[in-house]
A and B are shown apart, each in its own frame.
Chain A
């Protein structure tokens, strides 16, 4: 089964038919391809978190169809039998450490897979493996999640999602509130999972550098609508547009523009520090040859 996620004219209204009715999503069309690393960007209140909840049928669209693998989710889809969808698409919510509740880390990580019927030795193994993926060894198994540091608690929570062995992993600002080192380690960890295990990743973020460094597809949301989508190169080329949308521009791109204002010429506009360095190296070597 191909685990693409597809939105066809999806709309969502909170509390329809009340004075508090609020349209959070409107006419959304998009595809998240299996094996991709898709970034969803947009301001607070742009509808990102509503969209995200559609990815594993936590909420059902009030208009249109969401296709998750071969499952169709519409307004009329009954609430039963959605478990298999939730198993395939794991969501790491913002500040996921808030979901920890068990006495031991082992029990907490086991919670998800147990709900999906995993038992015995298999359960034990999956818990250990998941903890290892987030960089915590077996010595943590018997400890209470509440005595860990904030960053470690987050890792345990993430392991709890990984333990369900989802084929799609949705990350809602997974590095919010971490220090730069923690941020770097965590983003590296997700990238490894993506590369080594082929997990599809959907990253919701404000950090354009992370988008530039990791994503292969970008979706920009604003006021409940998709206002742009495409390859990072396509989305980031129009820096003027990004700035007017107050979305921010990758640091390397901003710096490249300063260089261009000074007289540098680049073949393609660099998005990452690595690309920028390569472009600069090219130019420096060329000018070296000319002399």
Chain B
């Protein structure tokens, strides 16, 4: 049974966000992450949060689901925030213990870092929740294409990416099957000390490697039989279409940037 991972999964839908061109979504997400670093006061962060919430609501994805996406990263966020608070100095000192101190600046930085994290995670979760992996790989190929001039193998990279994506569910299934088979033979995955855990991985990894090699060989034969001879002279079945809503999105981002520059210190 696949469908185990929730973080980073695509949820089919027909919202405006779903329908956007993947190139727009990909570039916009990177751009958004970039301009988060322009934020330096609470007004600018509020703006970014409002924008993100708007985008999330447009996607029509259940909020509980998005929160689930955040959960696995909770400890990482907490750790970074605490470090930030304890080691940044400046402004009024609220608490001091050895080299550790909680200061006004530290607290501020901590809060900002927290906001940044949450924003970045929310926006990238939104990207993966609303864009099929395949469209993402199409977008990546399109964006890499100019690099072909400098002999960058854009076609091969994108084919590799799309085959890898296509085999993710297959290999997850396989992993589960082999785990079950080994559990039925008395292996406890994830039990015992580190040594035990490492040991229990071997009966899982070796069969997975063996089967992946077999699959790769079969796939190569099948591709050859179907006339695959590299990127040259090849046509593409998938095409990406730029639509007015994509232009609109681009404009929205220009406006967002302008406001952001205006409200920051």
Query: Do the two chains touch directly in the complex (Cβ atoms below 8 Å apart)?
Result: yes
Residue pair B185, A93 in contact (C-beta under 8 Å): no
Residue pair B3, A14 in contact (C-beta under 8 Å): yes
Residue pair B207, A99 in contact (C-beta under 8 Å): yes
Contact residues, B1-58 vs A (CB, 8 A):
1, 3-4, 6, 11
A-contact bits for B205-225, CB 8 A (1 contact / 0 none): 011001100000000000000
Given A56-B184, A116-B186, A164-B185, verify A98-B177 contact (CB < 8 Å): yes
Query: Which residues of B have CB within 8 Å of A160?
Result: 185
Residue pair A83, B65 in contact (C-beta under 8 Å): no
Of the candidates A56, A93, A101, A164, the one having the most CB atoms from chain B within 10 angstroms of its own CB is A101
Residue pair B1, A98 in contact (C-beta under 8 Å): no
A160 to B185, CA, bound (A): 8
Residue pair A112, B183 in contact (C-beta under 8 Å): no
Q: Which residue from chain B places its CB closest to the CB of A170 in the assembled complex? A: B184
> Which one, B4, B62, B178, B183, contacts A98 given CB within 8 A?
B178
A98 to B180, CA, bound (A): 11
A96 to B180, CA, bound (A): 11
Query: Which residues of B have CB within 8 Å of A22?
Result: 3
**Smallest Cβ distance from B171 to chain A, in angstroms?**
12
Interface residue ranges, B against A (CB under 8 Å) = 1, 3-4, 6, 11, 62, 65, 68, 174, 177-178, 180-188, 202-203, 206-207, 210-211
Q: Which residue from chain A places its CB closest to the CB of B211 in the assembled complex? A: A98
- Which listed segment binds B: A84-92, A120-128, A263-271? A84-92
Residue pair B181, A115 in contact (C-beta under 8 Å): no
Residue pair B3, A99 in contact (C-beta under 8 Å): no
Q: Which residue from chain A places its CB closest to the CB of B183 in the assembled complex? A: A58
Q: Which residue from chain A places its CB closest to the CB of B206 in the assembled complex? A: A101
A245 to B178, CA, bound (A): 31
Query: Which residues of B have CB within 8 Å of A149?
Result: none
- Within 8 Å of chain B (Cβ to Cβ): is A161? yes
Query: Which residues of A have CB within 8 Å of B184?
Result: 56, 58, 86, 90-91, 93, 161
**Smallest Cβ distance from A281 to chain B, in angstroms?**
45
Query: Which residues of B have CB within 8 Å of A115?
Result: 185-187
- Within 8 Å of chain B (Cβ to Cβ): is A156? no
Of the candidates B1, B6, B181, B207, the one having the most CB atoms from chain A within 10 angstroms of its own CB is B181
Given A14-B1, A14-B3, A15-B3, verify A111-B185 contact (CB < 8 Å): yes
- Within 8 Å of chain B (Cβ to Cβ): is A249? no
**Smallest Cβ distance from A99 to chain B, in angstroms?**
4
**Smallest Cβ distance from A170 to chain B, in angstroms?**
9
- Within 8 Å of chain B (Cβ to Cβ): is A51? no
- Within 8 Å of chain B (Cβ to Cβ): is A53? yes
Query: Which residues of A have CB within 8 Å of B181?
Result: 91, 93, 96, 98-99
**Smallest Cβ distance from A180 to chain B, in angstroms?**
24
